[in-house]
Amino acid sequence: MLTTEEIQTRVAELSSQISTDYKQIASKQKPLLIVGVLRGCFIFLADLTRAMTITHQVDFIALQSYTKANTTGAVELRLDLLSDIAGKHVLIIEDIVDSGYTMRYLLKLIEARQPASVRVCTLLSKPSKRKVKVGLDYIGFKIPNVFVVGYGLDYDNRYRTLANIGRVVLESE
Ligand code: IMP
Ligand code: MG
Protein backbone atom coordinates (compact mmCIF):
# COMPACT_ATOMS: atom_id res chain seq x y z
CA MET A 1 0.00 0.00 0.00
CA LEU A 2 2.86 2.36 0.84
CA THR A 3 6.40 1.74 -0.35
CA THR A 4 9.51 2.24 1.76
CA GLU A 5 10.39 5.23 -0.39
CA GLU A 6 6.97 6.86 0.02
CA ILE A 7 7.17 6.35 3.78
CA GLN A 8 10.71 7.70 4.07
CA THR A 9 9.88 10.80 2.00
CA ARG A 10 6.85 11.59 4.12
CA VAL A 11 8.69 10.95 7.41
CA ALA A 12 11.41 13.40 6.33
CA GLU A 13 8.75 16.04 5.54
CA LEU A 14 7.03 15.55 8.89
CA SER A 15 10.32 15.68 10.74
CA SER A 16 11.27 18.94 9.11
CA GLN A 17 7.83 20.46 9.72
CA ILE A 18 7.92 19.44 13.39
CA SER A 19 11.45 20.82 13.83
CA THR A 20 10.44 24.15 12.30
CA ASP A 21 7.27 24.42 14.39
CA TYR A 22 8.88 23.55 17.73
CA LYS A 23 11.85 25.87 17.15
CA GLN A 24 9.29 28.63 17.67
CA ILE A 25 7.84 27.36 20.94
CA ALA A 26 10.17 24.94 22.75
CA SER A 27 12.89 26.20 25.11
CA LYS A 28 15.24 24.99 27.85
CA GLN A 29 12.57 25.75 30.43
CA LYS A 30 9.77 24.27 28.32
CA PRO A 31 11.37 21.46 26.31
CA LEU A 32 9.82 19.28 23.66
CA LEU A 33 8.93 15.82 24.96
CA ILE A 34 8.15 13.14 22.40
CA VAL A 35 5.69 10.60 23.79
CA GLY A 36 5.59 7.35 21.81
CA VAL A 37 2.58 5.08 22.07
CA LEU A 38 3.87 1.51 22.31
CA ARG A 39 4.24 -0.73 20.59
CA GLY A 40 3.23 0.35 17.10
CA CYS A 41 5.13 3.64 17.12
CA PHE A 42 8.64 2.31 17.58
CA ILE A 43 9.92 2.31 14.01
CA PHE A 44 8.18 5.51 12.95
CA LEU A 45 9.40 7.26 16.10
CA ALA A 46 12.99 6.11 15.58
CA ASP A 47 13.10 7.43 12.01
CA LEU A 48 11.21 10.64 12.78
CA THR A 49 13.21 11.67 15.84
CA ARG A 50 16.59 10.89 14.31
CA ALA A 51 15.82 13.27 11.47
CA MET A 52 14.65 16.06 13.78
CA THR A 53 16.89 19.11 14.12
CA ILE A 54 15.61 20.32 17.48
CA THR A 55 16.63 19.15 20.96
CA HIS A 56 14.02 16.87 22.47
CA GLN A 57 13.37 14.23 25.11
CA VAL A 58 11.73 10.86 24.44
CA ASP A 59 9.41 8.82 26.64
CA PHE A 60 6.93 6.00 26.07
CA ILE A 61 3.49 4.95 27.20
CA ALA A 62 1.62 1.72 26.49
CA LEU A 63 -2.12 1.50 26.08
CA GLN A 64 -4.35 -1.41 25.31
CA SER A 65 -7.59 -0.96 23.47
CA TYR A 66 -10.34 -3.50 23.29
CA THR A 67 -12.02 -2.08 20.22
CA LYS A 68 -11.44 -5.34 18.36
CA ALA A 69 -13.63 -7.35 20.73
CA ASN A 70 -16.26 -4.70 21.36
CA THR A 71 -17.00 -1.23 20.10
CA THR A 72 -17.36 0.49 23.46
CA GLY A 73 -13.88 1.92 23.12
CA ALA A 74 -12.52 0.63 26.43
CA VAL A 75 -8.87 1.65 26.77
CA GLU A 76 -6.49 0.65 29.55
CA LEU A 77 -3.17 2.15 30.64
CA ARG A 78 -0.56 -0.64 30.64
CA LEU A 79 2.68 1.29 31.12
CA ASP A 80 2.91 4.88 32.25
CA LEU A 81 5.44 7.57 31.33
CA LEU A 82 8.57 7.85 33.47
CA SER A 83 8.84 11.62 32.93
CA ASP A 84 7.07 14.46 34.64
CA ILE A 85 5.37 16.26 31.78
CA ALA A 86 4.20 19.41 33.58
CA GLY A 87 5.37 22.50 31.67
CA LYS A 88 6.72 20.51 28.72
CA HIS A 89 5.59 20.66 25.11
CA VAL A 90 4.28 17.15 24.52
CA LEU A 91 4.15 15.65 21.05
CA ILE A 92 2.38 12.28 20.95
CA ILE A 93 3.62 9.85 18.29
CA GLU A 94 1.11 7.19 17.22
CA ASP A 95 1.18 4.62 14.43
CA ILE A 96 -2.46 4.86 13.47
CA VAL A 97 -5.67 6.58 14.55
CA ASP A 98 -8.67 4.46 13.76
CA SER A 99 -11.84 4.90 15.89
CA GLY A 100 -10.04 7.61 17.88
CA TYR A 101 -10.84 6.02 21.27
CA THR A 102 -7.20 5.41 22.16
CA MET A 103 -6.19 8.96 21.30
CA ARG A 104 -9.12 10.48 23.16
CA TYR A 105 -8.14 8.52 26.28
CA LEU A 106 -4.49 9.51 25.95
CA LEU A 107 -5.19 13.20 25.37
CA LYS A 108 -7.36 13.34 28.48
CA LEU A 109 -4.65 11.63 30.54
CA ILE A 110 -1.87 13.93 29.26
CA GLU A 111 -3.88 17.14 29.49
CA ALA A 112 -4.67 16.45 33.16
CA ARG A 113 -0.93 16.62 33.94
CA GLN A 114 -0.56 20.27 32.89
CA PRO A 115 1.85 20.15 29.96
CA ALA A 116 2.76 23.44 28.24
CA SER A 117 1.05 22.12 25.09
CA VAL A 118 -0.08 18.85 23.51
CA ARG A 119 -0.05 17.93 19.84
CA VAL A 120 -0.50 14.64 18.01
CA CYS A 121 1.53 13.18 15.16
CA THR A 122 0.23 9.99 13.59
CA LEU A 123 1.75 8.11 10.70
CA LEU A 124 -1.65 6.89 9.49
CA SER A 125 -5.25 7.97 9.90
CA LYS A 126 -8.42 6.15 8.89
CA PRO A 127 -10.92 9.03 8.89
CA SER A 128 -13.83 6.87 7.71
CA LYS A 129 -13.58 4.73 10.88
CA ARG A 130 -13.63 7.62 13.35
CA LYS A 131 -16.10 7.23 16.23
CA VAL A 132 -14.91 10.18 18.29
CA LYS A 133 -13.44 13.46 17.11
CA VAL A 134 -9.75 13.95 17.94
CA GLY A 135 -7.50 16.76 16.71
CA LEU A 136 -4.53 15.45 14.72
CA ASP A 137 -1.80 18.01 14.13
CA TYR A 138 0.53 16.00 11.89
CA ILE A 139 -0.70 13.15 9.67
CA GLY A 140 1.59 11.05 7.50
CA PHE A 141 -1.06 9.45 5.29
CA LYS A 142 -4.82 9.18 5.26
CA ILE A 143 -5.83 5.64 4.31
CA PRO A 144 -9.14 3.90 3.59
CA ASN A 145 -10.83 1.43 5.88
CA VAL A 146 -8.44 -1.51 5.47
CA PHE A 147 -6.23 -3.34 7.98
CA VAL A 148 -2.55 -2.62 7.43
CA VAL A 149 0.75 -3.99 8.74
CA GLY A 150 4.44 -3.14 8.55
CA TYR A 151 6.65 -0.22 9.66
CA GLY A 152 5.69 -0.93 13.28
CA LEU A 153 2.08 -1.94 12.72
CA ASP A 154 1.14 -5.49 13.53
CA TYR A 155 -1.42 -8.19 13.01
CA ASP A 156 -1.39 -10.40 16.11
CA ASN A 157 2.06 -8.98 16.97
CA ARG A 158 3.53 -10.06 13.62
CA TYR A 159 4.77 -8.21 10.53
CA ARG A 160 5.96 -5.16 12.49
CA THR A 161 9.39 -5.11 10.91
CA LEU A 162 8.35 -5.04 7.27
CA ALA A 163 9.92 -1.96 5.68
CA ASN A 164 6.78 -1.11 3.73
CA ILE A 165 3.12 -0.96 4.70
CA GLY A 166 0.82 -3.62 3.31
CA ARG A 167 -2.82 -4.43 3.45
CA VAL A 168 -3.95 -7.59 5.22
CA VAL A 169 -6.49 -9.51 3.20
CA LEU A 170 -8.61 -11.60 5.54
CA GLU A 171 -9.87 -14.96 4.34
CA SER A 172 -13.49 -13.88 4.81
CA GLU A 173 -13.05 -11.00 2.32
P1 IMP B 1 -8.34 3.33 17.79
O2 IMP B 1 -8.42 3.41 19.29
O3 IMP B 1 -9.51 2.62 17.21
O4 IMP B 1 -8.11 4.67 17.13
O5 IMP B 1 -7.19 2.37 17.39
C6 IMP B 1 -6.04 2.37 17.98
C7 IMP B 1 -5.16 1.18 17.82
O8 IMP B 1 -5.71 0.10 17.02
C9 IMP B 1 -3.94 1.62 17.10
O10 IMP B 1 -3.04 2.23 17.99
C11 IMP B 1 -3.44 0.31 16.55
O12 IMP B 1 -2.68 -0.34 17.53
C13 IMP B 1 -4.68 -0.49 16.26
N14 IMP B 1 -5.01 -0.47 14.82
C15 IMP B 1 -6.05 0.14 14.22
N16 IMP B 1 -6.06 -0.06 12.90
C17 IMP B 1 -4.98 -0.83 12.63
C18 IMP B 1 -4.44 -1.38 11.41
O19 IMP B 1 -4.94 -1.21 10.29
N20 IMP B 1 -3.31 -2.12 11.56
C21 IMP B 1 -2.71 -2.35 12.76
N22 IMP B 1 -3.18 -1.84 13.92
C23 IMP B 1 -4.32 -1.10 13.86
MG1 MG C 1 -1.21 1.37 18.68
What are the DSSP calls for the chain, one per residue? -B-HHHHHHHHHHHHHHHHHHHHHH--SSS-EEEEEEETTTHHHHHHHHHT--S--EEEEEEEEE-TTT-SS--EEEEE--SS--TTSEEEEEEEEESSSHHHHHHHHHHHTT--SEEEEEEEEE-GGG-SS----SEEEEE--S--EEBTTB-BTTBSTT-SSBEE---TT-
Protein residue whose Cα sits closest to atom 9 of ligand 1: 96
Cα(27) to ligand 1 centroid in Å equals 33
Pocket lining: 99 vs ligand 1, CB cutoff 6 Å: yes
Mutate to test the pocket of ligand 1, among 37, 63, 65, 107 (most ligand atoms within 8 A of CB): 65
159 Cβ inside 6 Å of ligand 1: no
Q: How far apart are CA 12 and CA 10, in angstroms?
A: 5
pTM of the model: 0.95
Q: What is the pLDDT of residue 172?
A: 73
* pLDDT at residue 68 in the model: 59
Question: Is the CB of 8 within 6 Å of ligand 1?
Answer: no
Radius of gyration (C-alpha) of the chain in whole angstroms = 16
- Name the residue with the closest Cα to ligand 1, atom 11: 96
Per residue of the chain (173 residues), give pLDDT as tens: 999 999 999 999 999 999 999 999 999 999 999 999 999 999 999 999 999 999 999 999 999 987 554 556 799 999 999 999 999 999 999 999 999 999 999 999 999 999 999 999 999 999 999 999 999 999 999 999 999 999 999 999 999 999 999 999 977 76
Q: Which pLDDT does position 72 carry in this prediction?
A: 66
- Which pLDDT score is estimated for 140? 98
Give the number of the ligand closest to the Cα of residue 60: 2
